[in-house]
Chains A and B, each alone.
Chain A
Amino acid sequence: MSAAGRIVIEGIGMVGSFGCGVSDFSRALADGGSRPASLAVSTGSGPIEIPAHLADTSPLSEFVPARTLRRIDRFSRLALLGSFLALRDAGLADTERRRLGLIVASGHGATGITYAFLESFIKDGDICASPTHFANSVHNSAAANISILSGIAGPCLTVSQFHLSVPSALATALRWLAEGRADRVLFAAVEELSELIGYAWYRRRGGAKSVPMTPLRTAEETAVPAEGAACLLLSRAEAARGGYCALGEAVTGSRPDDGFPLPDAGLLVLSADGRKDAGRRFAALARNARIACYTPLYGSMPAGPAFDLAAAALILKGGRIFPSPGDAALDFPATVPAGGELLGAPRVSCLTLGDGATFGLATLENP
């Protein structure tokens, strides 16, 4: 691909249980360190605690006045913090935002404020429904808040394709840039771990104690629910100043019965997240591929594949593969060990599996 047609990751903004910003994320990747906290969930048997990767949004006060923040729900706060960090990481000035587009990807959306809206009329009757909660519960409210508070007036889109939200939305970001609809696209993947989602996890796994996530052992269910935001500032190469790496392609689709050829990549990053059913499918597709998996650092959430993209960008920038945290990877014998380097093409592909036979694949490379 010619330089003129290339898309570059110019900035990264990360928020998760590992901390806040690229440096915290890099440190977690290098050290393999990120410990889940716990989330209180109301159940029919009383409140219980479940292990959960939770994020701290308090650094947002650096970017948004406290008075404004009062009206903004947690889902939007996560998205806002990741977005501001990505814009700052790229050094993008306010004056350069004229041809900036915005795409938000989320599998669950703003479930906390949605539940709060329902509670407002469940408690006190339909006439007492909260208009503020309703306005914030609309699926694209995070995109709206980002655009309002960071002055993005270009094309604006929110995508919700559950586990495929990230690759699906990323494909559209690439089209916008290729078509010249925008010079840059702020791509924000975000997930909130509300009590509602926490309850769904409780019903899936019961009150399981915290165990380390071992997504590469496919016989075990070790997923830990999570929240966070992974934001990328994507730029046309001619507009970018430096950056991490190039973004080659992003596709979604349905896998034919006989599987599909994996890309010729130096590394395949799997979004396997400790859910047994998904783990088996990953093993069937990529058992012998040279793989890495970083989900134990940030947990299980539909926006997770965007965290993989950020990890892949840091691998390509640094030239060294971070070790996959978790226990021995018996089901994936070609897992790259600590200190491994990219072999062959300077290219990392990130594979996501959705429901049924659906998949998403994004490829990053060093030109």
Chain B
Amino acid sequence: MTDAPVPITGMGCICAAGRTLPGCMESLFRGARAPAPPVRFASNHPVRYPVFEVPGFEGPPGLLRTSALGLHAAREALEDAGLDRETLRGMRVGVCVGTTVGCVLSDEGFCREHHAGRDPDMASFRRILHSNPAEAIAREFALSGPLQTVVNACSSGTDAVGIAGSWIRADLCDAAIAGGADELGRITYIGFISLMITDESPCKPFDRDRKGLNLGEGAAMLVLESERSRRRREKRARSFLLGYGSAGDAYHLTAPRPDGAGLRNAVAEALSSGGLTAGAIAFVNAHGTGTPDNDRVESRVLGDLLPGVPYHSTKGYTGHALGAAGAIEAVFTASCLARGMIPANAGFETPDPEIANPPVREATAVSGNAALSESLAFGGNNSVIVLGKG
């Protein structure tokens, strides 16, 4: 069954590439990237791994940085959609946000105190519970529609957009703010280093000499709106959510299934739900983390299912923003579709003999009305959305 296209009437983004979506796009096409060892926290690990932090960003003290980033992106998206607080009051608006750390009860200071046999204060716990990303956005804009915080690891942002599209089609709400948000902190930084999948130098997605990912942080939000509401407001769609698919690998906690079966199923579902064939896809924003396993599996699946379709990873500009990554890449994909151009796959220099179909080396013109953005997650989840030109 083909899903009806869902208009996207607003988009916002904050990440290492910029504090607004236009700023990020300008940065991507300029080829700018500046990963560096973390500034906001320290580590006694002997290697200082580069990351993509959002410099100078501070949220309100009672809110987790994750939710503050999410709110920042939501404000831009709502402004872009022309939805002020007064207009929102008369609408049923839901919030669906993906994250990995936004609702985890893991405050290091608290645990250190407890581990040392003291009675840690509960303020940090309360702050986490007060900062559920979806609830924080709903609270800020007094929204009364459905709420969901998706914690599907690195595909969370993509899933959140797909789920919000389903809400709109089912008329559960007139509009939904959907996306992802994640902050970079010590716990995540140390955790990924322990898995030995981080690169000591700027990441090189799909390159022969890739050694792993660089972590990033940020948020992106999209305003999905019913066609009825969009027409009533006479608002032009910036893009359309055409299809969504997701499937599990049922294979491993942290490694992708070597044959890419889950990703294949997710791509197939996303295309069929959008009533599309591979020939309709202008380009792919790949997950492309720069880890040897991810890039091998992903490029193989792309070569099989979408041969000849240009693809790129934008993580060379943003780092891997985990639960926010899928949403950040969704707004990049929509923006690139509108522009008819995709930026170079930053960090790709030396072709990998194992990757028959390399990503684009330079900014490349693309033609077509639909593009695909994919996310692969720990736990073996694969999620794909198809976006259409507005």
- A interface residue numbers (CB < 8 A to B): 42-45, 102, 108-109, 111, 114-115, 117-119, 121-123, 125-127, 129-131, 134-141, 143-145, 147-148, 151-162, 164, 168-169, 171-172, 175, 178-181, 196-197, 199-200, 203, 251-256, 354-356, 358
Contact A125 B265 (CB under 8 A): no
CA distance A252 to B106 in the complex (A): 26
B8 at interface, CB cutoff 8 A: no
B39 at interface, CB cutoff 8 A: no
When A126-B44, A129-B194, A175-B170 are in contact, do A162 and B248 touch as well, CB less than 8 Å? no
Q: Nearest A residue to B162 by beta-carbon distance?
A: A155
Contact A159 B151 (CB under 8 A): yes
CA distance A189 to B248 in the complex (A): 19
Residues in A neighbouring B254, C-beta threshold 8 A = 135
Binary interface profile of B, 308-341, with partner A (CB < 8 Å = 1, else 0)?
Answer: 0000000000000000000000000000000000
> Could you say which of B43, B125, B381 has the most chain A C-beta atoms within 10 Å of its C-beta?
B381
Residues in B neighbouring A137, C-beta threshold 8 A = 104, 106, 191
Residues in A neighbouring B117, C-beta threshold 8 A = 42, 44
Min CB distance A165 to B, Å, is 8
Residues in B neighbouring A199, C-beta threshold 8 A = 114
B246 at interface, CB cutoff 8 A: yes
Min CB distance B177 to A, Å, is 14
Min CB distance B22 to A, Å, is 32
Query: Please, could you name 5 A-B residue pairs with CB atoms under 8 Å apart, sorted by A?
Result: A42-B114, A131-B195, A138-B253, A179-B3, A251-B172
Contact B149 A159 (CB under 8 A): yes
CA distance A307 to B341 in the complex (A): 52
Residue from B125, B150, B167 within 8 A of A157 (CB atoms): B150
When A118-B111, A130-B194, A358-B147 are in contact, do A153 and B247 touch as well, CB less than 8 Å? yes
Residues in A neighbouring B377, C-beta threshold 8 A = 140
Contact A140 B248 (CB under 8 A): no
Within 8 A of A (CB), among B79-135: 100, 103-106, 108, 111-112, 114-115, 117-119, 122, 125, 129-130, 132, 134-135
When A42-B114, A131-B194, A162-B129 are in contact, do A156 and B46 touch as well, CB less than 8 Å? no
> Could you say which of B105, B144, B195, B377 has the most chain A C-beta atoms within 10 Å of its C-beta?
B105
Min CB distance B59 to A, Å, is 19
Contact A156 B381 (CB under 8 A): yes
Contact A134 B248 (CB under 8 A): no
Residue from A134, A196, A358 within 8 A of B105 (CB atoms): A196
When A131-B195, A156-B381 are in contact, do A43 and B261 touch as well, CB less than 8 Å? no
Contact B380 A181 (CB under 8 A): no
CA distance A134 to B106 in the complex (A): 12
Q: Nearest B residue to A125 by beta-carbon distance?
A: B44
Contact B122 A153 (CB under 8 A): no
Q: Nearest A residue to B187 by beta-carbon distance?
A: A118
The 3 closest A-B pairs by CB, nearest first: A144-B379, A44-B119, A139-B151
- B interface residue numbers (CB < 8 A to A): 1, 3, 43-46, 100, 103-106, 108, 111-112, 114-115, 117-119, 122, 125, 129-130, 132, 134-135, 138-139, 142-153, 159, 163, 166-167, 170, 172, 187, 190-196, 246-254, 261-262, 265, 269, 377-381
CA distance A143 to B139 in the complex (A): 29
Contact B166 A159 (CB under 8 A): no
Residues in B neighbouring A161, C-beta threshold 8 A = 132, 134-135, 147-149
CA distance A168 to B147 in the complex (A): 7
Min CB distance B313 to A, Å, is 22
Residue from A126, A143, A164 within 8 A of B147 (CB atoms): A164
Contact A144 B247 (CB under 8 A): no
> Could you say which of A137, A144, A178, A254 has the most chain B C-beta atoms within 10 Å of its C-beta?
A144
Contact B248 A156 (CB under 8 A): yes
Contact B144 A253 (CB under 8 A): yes
> Could you say which of B1, B43, B115, B132 has the most chain A C-beta atoms within 10 Å of its C-beta?
B132
Min CB distance A227 to B, Å, is 14
Q: Nearest A residue to B191 by beta-carbon distance?
A: A134
Contact A136 B253 (CB under 8 A): yes
Q: Nearest A residue to B143 by beta-carbon distance?
A: A254
Q: Nearest A residue to B138 by beta-carbon distance?
A: A254
Contact B190 A172 (CB under 8 A): no
Residue from A155, A169, A171 within 8 A of B246 (CB atoms): A155
Q: Nearest B residue to A106 by beta-carbon distance?
A: B151
Residues in A neighbouring B112, C-beta threshold 8 A = 122
Residues in A neighbouring B187, C-beta threshold 8 A = 117-118
Residues in B neighbouring A115, C-beta threshold 8 A = 106, 111
CA distance A108 to B122 in the complex (A): 15
CA distance A156 to B146 in the complex (A): 20
When A44-B117, A157-B159, A175-B170 are in contact, do A144 and B147 touch as well, CB less than 8 Å? no
Q: Nearest A residue to B110 by beta-carbon distance?
A: A196
Residues in A neighbouring B159, C-beta threshold 8 A = 157
Contact A108 B147 (CB under 8 A): no
CA distance A125 to B104 in the complex (A): 22
Min CB distance B41 to A, Å, is 11
Contact B105 A111 (CB under 8 A): yes
CA distance A152 to B117 in the complex (A): 42
Residue from B45, B148, B246, B252 within 8 A of A156 (CB atoms): B246
Contact A118 B108 (CB under 8 A): yes
Residues in A neighbouring B145, C-beta threshold 8 A = 253-254
Q: Nearest B residue to A357 by beta-carbon distance?
A: B144
Contact B149 A155 (CB under 8 A): no
Min CB distance A134 to B, Å, is 4
CA distance A158 to B379 in the complex (A): 10
Contact A147 B111 (CB under 8 A): no
Min CB distance A204 to B, Å, is 8
CA distance A144 to B152 in the complex (A): 10
CA distance A77 to B250 in the complex (A): 17
Min CB distance B246 to A, Å, is 4
CA distance A160 to B131 in the complex (A): 12
CA distance A141 to B268 in the complex (A): 25
Residues in B neighbouring A122, C-beta threshold 8 A = 108, 111-112, 115
Min CB distance A77 to B, Å, is 15
Contact A144 B253 (CB under 8 A): yes
Residues in A neighbouring B103, C-beta threshold 8 A = 109, 139, 160, 162
Residues in B neighbouring A254, C-beta threshold 8 A = 138, 142-145, 147
